[in-house]
Amino acid sequence: MLLDNKRIAIIGGGPGGLTLARLLQQKGADVKVYERDENKDIRQQGSTLDLHADTGLKAMIEAGLMDEFKKYYRPGADKMKIINRNMTIVYDDHQEKPEEDFENEHFRPEIDRGPLRDLLIASLKEDNIIWNSKFTEMKPSGQGWEVFFENGSSAYADIVIASDGANSRVRKYITNIQPVFSGITAIEINVYNAENNAPRLWQLVNGGKVFALENGKTLLFSAKADGTLSVLIGIKTTYDWLAKSGIDFKNKIEVGEWFKKEFSDWSPEWQEIFNNDEIWIMPRPMYHFPLDQYWNPLPNLTMIGDAAHRMPPYAGEGANQALADALELYEVLTSNLFTDLKNAIGFFEKKMCARASEITEITLQQTEAMHDENNLQLLLDFFNEAVKGF
């Protein structure tokens, strides 16, 4: 096996990196995940993830984790409503949604990020994850790399795999291709203890998802099992809007006042998002990498997930593509089809870039539709057509 007597360092302990570690561990590989979080109990932000049959779920099966996944996924979390700016429900599949069926290729079970991460962590040997290891730099060393961390430690690896997200610090060692602004900025918000802090919205979401949109603006809501309401506010902006807005996004009152003005023609009931102090807010300009990105493969370094192909979240593909990357990289590194690591990594990267390019293009089309002036009707048409196809 190409990995015999090789030390593998995965930088970043998100779903992609942890899944890859699990897969490699099953083959007896010497693999370590270096994660910047201090420990496994750090609270996970973000909405629920829906895993797809040909990507995320396929990786779970190959990792031998489907039984664990079924314990922690959230039945009914894929049910949704579409609502206009006046809080009128125009589409609701809570009654018509088919029962959960893992044999159905269209079934996309949802799981919160925290439980998914927890089950992946539990599947690894305890010493396979090195916590409190925030990457700072790496330098060539022999046939591999010496990797340095903010806590003053370092580690040698024959192969380094970047799984450190959209703002990857490792990517620059592979390519200098820069991301492209999508024209959309999102404000991600978590309202904790939402049943008490945002009762009207919590009831509206009803354990699933809500797409509220009209006139080019979007509010996306999803409920989490721990009682958190995740919100994603999407608007069209220039690339430098955040810097020029003058908004302190750590100040709930300032963000609430901006929202009241920006969504002044929407029902005031939406402002319940900000009527509490148990809230977390993070602005996220939406970027993607060029569809035709290409770099020359290296024999000891590659990347997966958002580090390789970040994209807006509106098609729900980010985590699924990261898990697909993990599975495909595992397959080439542990197969007998390649005589050396450079050819194996080159094969993987070519396939990954082609797949990610196609998915990014679809995602950008959906992102544009979600923020079109006629976005409400476009989304209704999309789901009505999808229902016909099932």
CA–CA separation, 3 and 375 (whole Å): 49
Annotated binding residue 50: yes
Angle (CA) 171-173-179 rounded to 5° is 35
CA–CA separation, 60 and 333 (whole Å): 18
- Three-state SS at 233: strand
Question: Are 207 and 241 a contacting pair, CB within 8 Å?
Answer: no
Annotated binding residue 74: no
Return the structure tokens found at 29.
């590989």
Annotated binding residue 277: no
Nearest to 365 by CA among 352, 355, 378, 351: 378
In the chain, how long is the greatest CA-to-CA distance? 64
Return the structure tokens found at 150.
């903010």
Name the strand (E) or helix (H) holding 70. Answer: helix 66-72
Annotated binding residue 306: yes
Question: Are 276 and 324 a contacting pair, CB within 8 Å?
Answer: no
**Residue 141 Ramachandran class (φ > 0 left, ψ -120 to 50 alpha, else beta):** beta
List residues forming the annotated binding site for NADPH.
43
List residues forming the annotated binding site.
43, 50, 113, 306
List residues forming the annotated binding site for FAD.
50, 113, 306
